[in-house]
Amino acid sequence: MLSTVQVMQVPDAARTAILAWFDASGREFPFRGVADPYAVLVSETMAQQTQIARASAKWTSFLTRFPTIEALAAAAPADVLREWRGLGYNRRAINLQRTARQIVAEHGGRIPTELSTLERLPGIGPYTARAVAALAFGQPVGPVDTNVRRVLGRIVSGTKQPAARALQDIADSAVPADRPADWTHAVMDLGATICLSARPRCGMCPAQRWCRFSADGETVPPPRTVQGSGHPPFPQTRRWLRGRVLDRLCDARVSEWTAIAAPIGVHDEDAVVRVLEKLAAEGLIELNRSQPLRARLPTV
C-alpha–C-alpha distance, residues 39 and 168, integer Å: 25
Q: How many CB atoms lie within 10 A of CB 53?
A: 9
DSSP readout, 190-204? HHHHTS-SSS--GGG
Q: Which of 44, 83, 119, 286 is catalytic?
A: 44
Residue 174's CB is within 10 A of a number of other CB atoms, namely 23
Secondary structure class of 208 (helix, strand, coil): helix
**How many Å separate Cα 274 from the centre of its chain?**
27
- Catalytic residue status for 83: no
Whether 76 contacts 70, CB under 8 Å: no
Angle made by CA atoms 235, 238, 244, in degrees to the nearest 5: 65
In contact, 66 and 73? CB cutoff 8 Å:
no
Q: Are 292 and 277 in contact (CB under 8 A)?
A: no
Complete DSSP assignment for 217-275:
T---PPPPPPPSSS---GGGSHHHHHHHHHHHHHHS-TT--EE--S-BTTB-HHHHHHH
Rounded CA-CA distance 122/294 in Å is: 28
Catalytic annotation, residues = 44
